[in-house]
Amino acid sequence: MGLNQIIQHPDVLRALNPIHIIDLFQTEPKKGFLALGSIFLVVTGGEALYADMGNFGRRPITLVWYGIVLPGLVCNYLGQAALLIDDPGDIESPFYRLAPDWGITPLAILATMASVIASQALISGAFSLTAQAVQLDYLPRLRILHTSTHHKGQVYVPLDAPMDRQVDGGLASSWR
């Protein structure tokens, strides 16, 4: 969606230069600090990718990130910036303003699905990190059930579950 706007305003590509963030912190440290708050979502996304790394492996995550996600995000964010150059009043919702009228409903559905998937990834990540912390003796020993025989990163930490029961079609096992 953002590519059309980038073509209309190619100077927006200058935003990719990391020197601009250094200048922002030197000239306006308060605004730079506030910008870091906006960047916090990147940390959350990184945590979700880390959690998925255990489920899918490094190569698929790397290919999807560099081949699809990163270029899509860069085009979208730069497209939003270019849109705001033309009409700063679009600041209310630049993502949806990039879309044609017929695309608003599908984008809202896609955004809702992405939110659900991201929240599930965060929950899965918390379980995976808990399992790793138990293995490294950073947490007390907990019962860890593996819910899949094929993916070692799919774990569940129950309050009280038998050691030998089937969970989600996978053989449940436990570490002690």
The tens digit of pLDDT for each residue in 57-99 reads: 778 878 888 898 889 888 998 999 999 998 898 888 898 899 9
Band of pLDDT at residue 52, cut at 50, 70 and 90: low
Determine phi and psi for 147, rounding to 5 degrees: -90, 0
Q: Scan for tokens 């009228």, then name that residue.
A: 101
Name the token pair of 69: 């996600």
Alpha carbons 92 and 170: distance in angstroms, whole number: 46
pLDDT digits (tens, 9 = 90+) for 102-141: 999 999 999 899 888 877 777 777 777 777 888 888 878 7
Alpha carbons 162 and 21: distance in angstroms, whole number: 53
Residue 122: name the closest of 65, 49, 16 by CA: 49
Residue 171: in which H helix or E strand, if any? strand 170-171
b/e map of 20-30 (b: 16 or more CB within 10 Å)? eeeeeeeeeee
Alpha carbons 50 and 134: distance in angstroms, whole number: 17
Alpha carbons 77 and 102: distance in angstroms, whole number: 21
Q: In this predicted structure, which of 10-19, 62-71, 143-152 has the lowest mean pLDDT?
A: 143-152
Alpha carbons 88 and 83: distance in angstroms, whole number: 8
